[in-house]
């Protein structure tokens, strides 16, 4: 692998946005294809950091600066990438459930999904079950990802599963959930196919759900 790509991957993993932006520029000037810079430099960098996070060797500050470094690279690549260059893993509609204003966890999941090849439509906070279902229809999404912080608001997630059923998307769209009080058992009880403990495992879970749907 070229030294440029190694430097870019390392820069993303360490959250060095200046180094990543500069090296992406240099790699483009050296004739390396934008698609290759993305798939062999930026993405491996964020994946390596995600693994460190799952292993308990990286924490949220490292995730944030790493994602920021990745963005500095992708901004440079955008003018050089065509739709066919970008391997989109899937589409995700994401939001925090109705009655809940917390979005840090949701934003981190969004950041990691985008960095790992998902197209993410962020509905924000305090999102009703019907709004999740409507957005799922409009975006032809593969996954609806819902976050809840409180034991009271987590109960609303069951309404999202019902709302998707009502618009005929129960079998097509997988529901993935997370948040402080959420457990895998709760996900099973309400018929949500996916559950993630944190932003890094959310990527693994989304990948698993996409395989199930294939």
Partner 1 sequence: MNARERFLALMTFQEPDRNFIWEFGYWAGTVRRWYKEGLPSIKGLPEGVGEGTGLFAECAGVPLHRDTAYDVHDYFKMDPYLVRVPLNIGAYPPFEVKIIEDHGDWYIWQEWDGCLRKELKDRSTLPTIVGGPVSDRESWEHYKAERLRPSLEGRLPSNWPQLVEEYKKRDYPLGLGQTHGFFGTPRYLMGVEELLTKYYDDPEMMKDVNNYLADFWIALFDGVLKDVDVDTVFIWEDMCYKGGPLISPEMFREFILPGYQKLTSFLKDHGIRIIQVDSDGDVWKLLPLWIEGGVTAVYPFEVAAGMDIVEVRKAFPKLGITGGIDKRAVAQGKKAIDRELKAKVPFMLRHGGYIPSIDHMVSRDVSFENFKYYREKLNQMIKRHSKAWERD
Name the residues that contact partner 1, by CB under 8 A: 15, 56, 58-62, 64-65, 68, 99-105, 107, 125-126, 149-153, 155, 180-181, 197-198
Judged by beta carbon, residue 172 or residue 184, the one nearer partner 1 is 184
Taking alpha carbons only, the member of 145, 151, 209 closest to residue 178 is 145
Nearer to partner 1, 149 or 209 (CB): 149
How far is Cα 85 from Cα 6, in angstroms, rounded to an integer? 20
Q: Which is nearer to partner 1, 5 or 58 (CB)?
A: 58
In terms of Cα–Cα distance, which of 65, 139, 60 is closest to 95? 139
Question: 34 or 63, CB closer to partner 1?
Answer: 63
Helix (H) or strand (E) holding 175: strand 174-178
Q: HSE on the CB side for 148, CA within 13 Å?
A: 26
CB of 130 to partner 1, least distance (A): 14
What is the chain's alpha carbon radius of gyration, rounded to the nearest angstrom?
18
Minimum gap (Å) between residue 79 Cβ and partner 1: 27
Nearer Cβ to partner 1 (11/15): 15
Q: Which is closer to partner 1, CB of 96 or CB of 141?
A: 96
Q: How far apart are CA 200 and CA 178, in angstroms?
A: 12
Closest approach of partner 1 to the CB of residue 151, in Å:
5
Q: How far is the CB of 178 from partner 1 (least distance, A)?
A: 10
Strand partners, 102: none
Contact between 122 and 95 (Cβ < 8 Å): yes
Nearest distance in Å: CB 39, partner 1: 26
Which two tokens mark 84? 């066919």
Q: How far is the CB of 14 from partner 1 (least distance, A)?
A: 10
DSSP string, 133-146: HHHHHHHT-SEEEE
Rounded CA gap, 73 and 67, in Å? 10
């Amino acid at each position: 692998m070229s030294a440029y790509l190694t430097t870019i991957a390392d820069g993303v993993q360490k959250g060095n946005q200046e180094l990543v932006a500069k090296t992406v520029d240099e790699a483009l000037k050296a004739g390396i294809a934008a698609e290759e810079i993305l798939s062999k430099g930026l993405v491996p960098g964020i994946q390596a950091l995600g693994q460190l996070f799952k292993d308990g060797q990286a924490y949220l500050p490292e995730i944030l600066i790493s994602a920021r470094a990745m963005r500095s690279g992708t901004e440079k690549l955008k003018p050089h990438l065509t739709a066919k260059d970008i391997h989109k893993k899937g589409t995700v509609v994401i939001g925090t459930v109705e009655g809940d204003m917390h979005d840090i966890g949701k934003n981190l999941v969004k950041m990691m999904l985008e960095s790992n090849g998902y197209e993410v439509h962020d509905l924000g906070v305090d999102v009703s079950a019907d709004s999740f279902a409507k957005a799922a229809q409009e975006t032809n999404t593969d996954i609806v990802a819902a976050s809840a912080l409180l034991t009271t608001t987590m109960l609303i997630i069951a309404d999202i599963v019902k709302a998707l059923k009502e618009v005929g998307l129960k079998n097509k769209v997988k529901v993935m959930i997370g948040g402080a009080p959420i457990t895998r058992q709760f996900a099973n009880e309400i018929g949500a196919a996916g559950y993630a403990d944190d932003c890094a495992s959310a990527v693994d879970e989304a990948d698993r759900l996409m395989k199930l749907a294939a």
